[in-house]
Amino acid sequence: MRLTTDAVIIREKNISGDDRVITALTKDRGVISAFVNGAKRLRSKNASSTGLFCYSSITLFKNKDTYIVNEASAIEVFFDIRRDIEKLSLAQYFCEIFMALAPQEEPAGEYVELLLRALYNIAKGSRPLSLIKAVTELRLLCLSGYQPDLVACSACGEYEREQMYFDKVNGRIICSECIRRIGERVGEYTALPAGVLAAMRHIVYSDISKIFAFSLKDEGLELLSGITEKYLIAQTDRTYKTLDFYHSVKNGII
């Protein structure tokens, strides 16, 4: 079988000799692994176009269960991301969560578009990294079947109250009056300032072309980023090494 598709390279691994194994998020086949023969040779036409973060048009041959890259042509290589360690660590984290949540052997055009928009925003530096992180985490969860219900309080149906809370386990919001009425413990939920709730609704329900088009003050952005991160971890029930590395870089530990 021969297939040509656009893909973002989300992992690369050099193997014996001059060869490389890549993991690619493709529009037509989702997440796949493929061999790139001779990728480490200086004159290899596929070397730069199958590197990490590259967005390329790749031609694949499939032999039984194995993909082999026959040809690759770079569309965007995102060099600027590699010049800043915090940007680099965030992009690596995105690659890990897309690898975990994007489908395999199924069309994944929406996933590719989301990852590309995230990488473009990181590279351009036009948005705070905390904003890009929160948007990408929450929208990826929506694509993957973990979309939270942020329309109204899950108990009384009110769109807005003086204080709303987020339930990261069940992916819902609940107002303070219903928490008191039901007898729930407030400490089990995260308080949502109005601006943060509005931002979450924007990320979940807006057209993908507009999901990064909002602003919050630094304090609100950090709260938003913390909420989306905890929601992702709660829903996927796993940890991410690249996330730990990103926090180490961001906090100046590395």
pLDDT in tens, 104-161: 999 999 999 999 999 999 999 989 999 999 999 999 999 999 999 999 999 999 999 9
pTM of the predicted protein model: 0.95
Residue 49 to residues 53, 60, 113, 145, 159: CA-CA distances in angstroms? 9, 14, 18, 31, 48
Write the burial class of residue 56 (CB in 10 Å: 0-12 exposed, 13-18 middle, 19+ buried). buried
Model pLDDT for residues 188-209, shown as the tens digit of each residue: 899 999 999 999 999 999 999 9
Residue-wise pLDDT for 26-47, tens only, equals 999 999 999 998 766 656 777 7
The residue type of 17 is G
| H or E segment to which residue 218 belongs | helix 218-236
Catalogue all structural domains in the chain, each as residue range(s) with its CATH number.
1-77 (2.40.50.140), 85-254 (1.20.1440.120)
Structure tokens at 233: 């971890």
